[in-house]
């Protein structure tokens, strides 16, 4: 893998020590980590679409894009809305374990996120009340985002949303 990167860029690429590459590595890992769960959820939603709707649309002369737009997307809209609302709730939670294991003294300037900051302040420095306040702020922002996303979903479609 690293030989491939060296041949591609013409120089050795130190992924774990370059602060400029840290965000890209973490984002790539997050996408890879969540793609399996998302795939299972969306495949389950797609399996509930009635195949007769697709057959009728083909008989009416609808192409792939028309079938996608008028059958598939409306059928999986509730699942998409729920997944969006759940994603909004974890917007500031970047995954403590992932960041903690990937960070080191060379990339610490870009690796500090809320979860890691709470750990450093609360556990390593013993400032429990300050760490609790920061963690509470993180949770409150998540609740506000979930309620706002649910409110917007209810305005767009009264049957969508979590509550």
User: What is the CB neighbour count within 10 angstroms for residue 46?
Assistant: 12
3-state secondary structure of 91: coil
3-state secondary structure of 110: helix
Structure tokens at 33: 């980590």
Mean pLDDT of 115-139: 91
Tell me the pTM.
0.74
Could you tell me the pLDDT band of residue 5, with boundaries at 50, 70 and 90? low
Lowest mean pLDDT among 34-43, 97-106, 129-138, 153-162: 153-162
Mean pLDDT of 32-55: 93
Rounded to the nearest integer, the mean pLDDT of the chain is 88
Residues 6+ apart with CB under 8 A from 24: none
Domains along the sequence of the chain with CATH: 2-156 (1.10.3720.10)
Q: What is the pLDDT of residues 48-95, one digit of tens each?
A: 999 999 999 999 999 999 999 999 999 999 999 999 998 888 887 777
């Amino acid at each position: 893998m690293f030989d491939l990167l060296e041949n591609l860029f013409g120089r050795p690429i130190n992924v774990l020590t370059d602060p400029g590459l840290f965000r890209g590595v973490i984002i790539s890992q997050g996408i890879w980590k969540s793609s399996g769960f998302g795939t299972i959820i969306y495949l389950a939603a797609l399996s509930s679409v009635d195949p007769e709707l697709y057959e009728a649309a083909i008989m009416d002369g609808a192409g792939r894009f028309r079938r996608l737009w008028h059958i598939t997307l409306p059928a999986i809209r509730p699942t998409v809305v729920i997944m969006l609302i759940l994603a909004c709730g974890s917007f500031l939670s970047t995954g403590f374990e992932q960041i903690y294991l990937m960070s080191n003294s060379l990339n610490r300037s870009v690796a500090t996120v809320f979860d890691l900051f709470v750990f450093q302040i609360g556990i390593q420095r013993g400032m429990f009340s300050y760490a609790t306040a920061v963690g509470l702020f993180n949770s409150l922002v998540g609740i506000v985002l979930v309620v706002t996303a649910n409110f917007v979903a209810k305005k767009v479609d009264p049957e969508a949303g979590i509550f």
